Amino acid sequence: ISNIDELHGICILLKPNNARLNVMFKYCINELLTHLHKSAAENIVFCFTNARSTFYEPGDTKPALETHLKGLNEDRGVNIQLAPPTTYCMDNEAFRFLCCIHAGETSVISKRGSYAESWDISVKETIRLFQHFEEITPHIVKETVSLNEARQLILTLAKPLADVTQNVQDNINQIDAKRKEIEALESGSKDLKKKLKIPHPQITTEPLGFPRTVCTNSTCIETKRKAHTNEVQVLYKTICHDHCYLENVTPEQVPNPALQKCQAMNSQLFCSKCGCPWNFHMHITFEQGTETIMVDDPHIQQLLSENRSDLDVQEQ
């Protein structure tokens, strides 16, 4: 629906003789509302098919549906009305009658009046349905599309953000450990200088000389923060196609439609290596690794710069 600007109506088709709504129906309703903006509830209607058997009324389905909709309103704050303006009962038996007549079946001719009545009622309900959609305000599809884009973005960022948080916490723990040692230290500046350097993991890169297909999905990467900065480095740990010589592939561009032809992709355009869709993959032309470097502890460095003598450092 992202290709249209407005959505006038959403029809949910039901049988009128279901006294209990099964798990599949409830799941479908809940999933539908999960992917729609709350304002789309104003454009939802219920169409009851095969309604002749219940005299063109919602029948036993209505109480069960009312209960489920009430629960949705209480739990999610989504108010979907089940009232005459949003309830339509119809039957397609008149169409089946016309098919029989067209096929030369004569046994149904005697029931023509009954089928004509069914046709008239269904036509009136259909016209009433279209009139209802003309009178209400259309749903702005951009609201639903934006909602789903935000939802997808949150899901995609969950793993990298968790990794960044963990890396930050690891660094904080290391710095706190060093600071506790400094607080207990009763020596001069030479002792402080021995504690100045602390280990810090970082990602290294070297030129490869050939293109490599890697996955950028959050489950296939690791992230590390550069020392004393908020810059985050990404380690592409999942190599899906080591020597991928596809043409017209721009390195480090996601998504890249040319990678649909990569040997790592199966007929469904999912990677046979990592299982992720093609649009999470990209080319890189460098080898990555990890190394631990020694960086200055900013707290100790501040002590050394502010205190000019062993006595001053001891007092600090």
CA distance 137 to 6: 9
- Is 283 in contact with 251 (CB distance < 8 Å)? yes
Percent residues over pLDDT 70 in the chain: 84
Name the strands in the sheet holding 197-215, side by side, starting at the edge strand that comes first in the sequence.
239-241, 197-215, 281-296
CA distance 97 to 86: 28
Task: Say what the pLDDT of residue 311 is.
Answer: 45
3-state secondary structure of 300: helix
- Is 242 in contact with 217 (CB distance < 8 Å)? no
Q: Record the pTM.
A: 0.45
Pairing of the two strands 10-14 and 44-48:
parallel
pLDDT at 262 over 60: yes
CA distance 124 to 294: 80
Least confident range from 155-159, 164-168, 243-247: namely 155-159
Residue 33: other Cβ atoms inside 10 A: 17
Q: What is the pLDDT of residues 11-47, one digit of tens each?
A: 999 888 877 777 877 877 777 777 777 777 888 999 9
What's the first-to-final CA gap in the chain, in angstroms? 66
pLDDT at 314 over 50: no
CA dihedral 136, 142, 148, 151 (to 10 degrees): -110
Residue 283: other Cβ atoms inside 10 A: 23
- φ/ψ region of 248 (left if φ > 0, alpha if ψ in -120 to 50, else beta) reads left
Q: What is the pLDDT of residues 217-244, one digit of tens each?
A: 999 998 887 766 778 889 999 999 999 9
pLDDT at 313 over 60: no
